[in-house]
Amino acid sequence: MTDWDLRKLRVLRTLQELGTVRATAEALSMTPSAVSQQLSSLSQQVGVALLEAHGRRVRLTDAAHVLLRHTDVVLAQLERAEAELDGFVRGEAGRVRIGAFATAIPTLVVPTLKILRRTRPDLRTRVHQADAAEVYELLAAGEIDIGLSLAAQASSDQDGRYERGELLADPLDVALPVQHRLASAPALGLRDLADEPWIYGASGPWRDITIAACAQAGFVPEQGHVASDWRAILDMVAAGLGVALIPRLAAAADTPEVALRTPQIDQPRRHVVWAVRAGAGQRPQIEATLRALAETASTLRAANVQSR
């Protein structure tokens, strides 16, 4: 198979366009002898004459025109390849896999994907729902590129495997039955609910966050019921079985029988963070996705989604 030299093919293409060796040499910043040498070498490679004498000039043979017809196809395809590869360089193409805990997906991940679909339509994305602590395992295994987690679940700051940054401070609202005596109180603090049965998980980040928030308010919550699914928790609160802390990102699960109140005294929050493998944040695709996530978080704040 012939070992094609694109430079020689471009010399032949320029000669066809300009008509003379001298004009071709000037256009390509070459000497006329170098042009002739390139074309002679190309003729030897293909095994057929590409030029023929025509008075004091040369003209292309029929074989040269056939070669140029295929050259145009090859060069056009290479231009398309370069354009597509440029998309990878600019972060407009490629693949980004995002791992996120459940409540972050509808409020943070989905709007971010809509931004990317509009601004980078050639960028392929994949969402992987995972627990807040699990995203670090997925990152280490190379199964995701960006993980959304909670600061309380972050690995040690001395762990050099990851780069992290805060994305959002998600307020925690108190879920009360609408008929509760404090459901419409003008100012509510967590300490006001110290004697109530609380609903939270048996283990995991939400148990830790609930206990820590109550501890800051000066009491240990009595666990009346064990649940970790937001729908189940809200249904139990609606039935008057207890009270619970609900992250603002899960507010879409509101029910009419539940009053969500922002504690005016304590105002507990959970901090949502992004994490990537060390050094990966400089990849254009990941950098573009992190910018879109930051834009989504900023929109949430500007729309006062975090204030109730």
Q: Do 208 and 277 fall within a single domain?
A: no
Q: Is 194 helix (H, G, I), strand (E, B) or coil?
A: coil
Residue at 110 is within a domain = yes
Tell me the CB-side half-sphere exposure of residue 269, using CA atoms within 13 A.
14
Domain end residue (candidates: 89, 115, 135): 89
The angle that helices 6-18 and 32-46 make with each other, rounded to 10 degrees, is 120
Tens digit of pLDDT for each residue in 88-98? 666 666 889 99
Residue at 213 is within a domain = yes
User: How is residue 162 written in tokens?
Assistant: 């990851």
Tell me the CB-side half-sphere exposure of residue 234, using CA atoms within 13 A.
17
Residue at 291 is within a domain = yes
How many CB atoms lie under 10 A from the CB of residue 6? 11
Q: Do 212 and 148 fall within a single domain?
A: no
**CATH at 23:** 1.10.10.10
Domain end residue (candidates: 89, 120, 140): 89
Which stretches of 135-266 are assigned E, i.e. beta strand? Answer: 146-150, 162-177, 197-200, 222-226, 244-247, 258-261
Residue at 290 is within a domain = yes
Q: Do 194 and 248 fall within a single domain?
A: yes
Taking the C-alpha atoms of residue 254 and residue 235, their distance in angstroms, rounded to an integer, is 10
Q: Do 175 and 265 fall within a single domain?
A: yes
Q: How many residues does the chain have?
A: 308
Q: Do 74 and 222 fall within a single domain?
A: no
Q: Please report which confidence band the pLDDT of residue 222 belongs to, taking 50, 70 and 90 as the band edges.
A: very high
Tens digit of pLDDT for each residue in 124-148? 999 999 988 899 999 988 899 999 9
Taking the C-alpha atoms of residue 294 and residue 136, their distance in angstroms, rounded to an integer, is 20
Tens digit of pLDDT for each residue in 251-277? 655 678 899 888 877 678 888 999 999
**CATH at 134:** 3.40.190.10
Tens digit of pLDDT for each residue in 32-76? 899 989 989 988 888 889 888 877 788 889 998 898 888 878 877
- Within the chain, residue ranges assigned H as helices are 6-18, 21-27, 32-46, 62-89, 104, 110-119, 134-140, 205-216, 230-238, 284-302
Structural domain count of the chain: 3
Given a contact cutoff of 8 angstroms between Cβ atoms, the answer to whether 167 and 296 are in contact is no
Taking the C-alpha atoms of residue 51 and residue 32, their distance in angstroms, rounded to an integer, is 15
Residue at 1 is within a domain = no
Q: Do 162 and 275 fall within a single domain?
A: yes
Q: Which domain holds residue 13?
A: 6-89
Q: Do 62 and 192 fall within a single domain?
A: no
User: How is residue 90 written in tokens?
Assistant: 């600019």
Q: Do 215 and 235 fall within a single domain?
A: yes
Residue at 65 is within a domain = yes
Domain end residue (candidates: 70, 89, 108): 89
Q: Do 250 and 174 fall within a single domain?
A: yes
Q: Do 164 and 276 fall within a single domain?
A: yes
Q: Do 22 and 83 fall within a single domain?
A: yes
Q: Do 175 and 117 fall within a single domain?
A: no
